[in-house]
Structure 1
């Protein structure tokens, strides 16, 4: 059986850059296929409607709806429209847990969700953010989410949904993930060296803090001479988080302790630690 996985990418967060790639890192899985429809950079109604119609036409076994601020009307309407068409949805978004009423409402629905708390809002002030700064920031953030273990937990959660479809479950019978990706959740089981673990956990905590700094710089501060240094400082925090992740990774490499969990072509996850071992 080939499982059809849809990815509805609305706007951009770093998790959306990697969502389908995490499921098939060598592009050789025979048990699943992916299809992505994207609204581009914006969350306008017409762009989201186009994504929904393309996803319905594809007819996936389940759909990943990835967007910033997943409680906004656009992303909320997209997943509701897909669910009405009989397509189960897993929401991947940045930290919406501070929006207590909206998050509580999401938890009461049948939708799955993975809240990536460290997938922090960018410093979107024109005086600071040009295309290269945007790309550099997202590169640093992808490194943090990858090395800390947040991406691995996301990937395994989605793999488990794929496995359920392969077992014959469909629609409302699927058990969808409900995960808030805290620092403890991200780093759990990811490191063989305690110093590497500590550095990665610190990096995740730092990345989580970036959203609050950027909210202050983008929405709460007036005058470019005041808000530009604030958003610049947020990007510096993310860079330092990335550097801590590189240090953690190098510690793991130095003791031949990097944990690897590749997919086989049938979708089975295998595991190894020693570099010159074969995964089992």
Structure 2
């Protein structure tokens, strides 16, 4: 059977840039198809309604709802409407600081993958222009990819796809409930302990970027003070990306980079030696 995976992108986080691509990296899987609907850059009710209406019309076997701050009214309403239409939902979002609100999601019927390093950008007009925005997201995507966080996200979603292929549907699906910490991200990704330490450091730095940007964007009023704050947060993310490059180069030097591609039927194979076939 062909599994229909819906991806509802509300606003933007780095995980949303890659969500459906991680499931079909060579665009040749025959066991699944994806449909992506986006609200664009904003989280206005009319934009979210358009996404949800299109998703319900497509009737996916399950939906991935990707957004910043998944406890906001817009993302919350979107997943509740999808669930009311019989579509199981997996929430992918960045970390938020309100423990009480997250407890509500963790106790709900929804799956979730909380990407703790998918940090808020330094959104101050005096600092953030389109090039700075793209550069920041490029560094963040590298951190999430090379630390192992994206692989764990992809594996969790593939497990849901496999359940649908096995005949499960609706409320019978076991949805992921993951908080993507640095320990979870790097687990099983590295053969060299120095490479793992660098990747872990990168993830920890990326996690801390969010609160620096919260301070610069919401807690500091004087522009002379908040510009250096958000600039420092972006420098932190750049440093994290450099650490990830260093970790990858160590693994390459030992011919130990882990590669786990999908076959056409969705089966995941693996290899480490570059000049070899995945099995």
TM-score range for the pair, normalised by the shorter chain length:
over 0.9
- SS of the residue corresponding to residue 103 of structure 1 reads helix
Residue 220 of structure 1 and its aligned partner are, at CA, apart by 0.5
**d(CA) in 1 for partners of 2:52 and 2:252?**
43
- SS of the residue corresponding to residue 222 of structure 1 reads coil
Aligned to 1:184: 183
CA displacement, residues 75-98 of structure 1 (integer Å, 9 cap, x when unaligned): 0000000000000000000002x2
- SS of the residue corresponding to residue 233 of structure 1 reads helix
Aligned to 1:89: 89
Q: TM-score, normalised by structure 1?
A: 0.99
- SS of the residue corresponding to residue 4 of structure 2 reads strand
**d(CA) in 1 for partners of 2:82 and 2:98?**
23
CA displacement, residues 53-72 of structure 1 (integer Å, 9 cap, x when unaligned): 00001000000000000000
Q: TM-score, normalised by structure 2?
A: 1.00
Residue 99 of structure 1 and its aligned partner are, at CA, apart by 1.1
Is 1:164 equivalent to 2:163 in the alignment? yes
Question: Any runs of at least 4 consecutive aligned residues in structure 1 with deviations exceeding 3 A, and if so which?
Answer: none
Where structure 1 has 5 or more consecutive residues not aligned to the other structure, the ranges are: none
**d(CA) in 2 for partners of 1:106 and 1:246?**
34
**d(CA) in 2 for partners of 1:192 and 1:278?**
19
Aligned to 2:58: 58
Aligned to 1:140: 139
Aligned to 1:221: 220
**d(CA) in 1 for partners of 2:249 and 2:100?**
42
Query: Cα RMSD (Å) of the superposition?
Result: 0.4
Number of residue pairs matched by the alignment:
279
**d(CA) in 1 for partners of 2:109 and 2:166?**
20
Residue 223 of structure 1 and its aligned partner are, at CA, apart by 1.3
Aligned to 2:26: 26
Where structure 2 has 5 or more consecutive residues not aligned to the other structure, the ranges are: none
**d(CA) in 1 for partners of 2:254 and 2:203?**
22
Aligned to 1:212: 211
**d(CA) in 2 for partners of 1:238 and 1:103?**
25
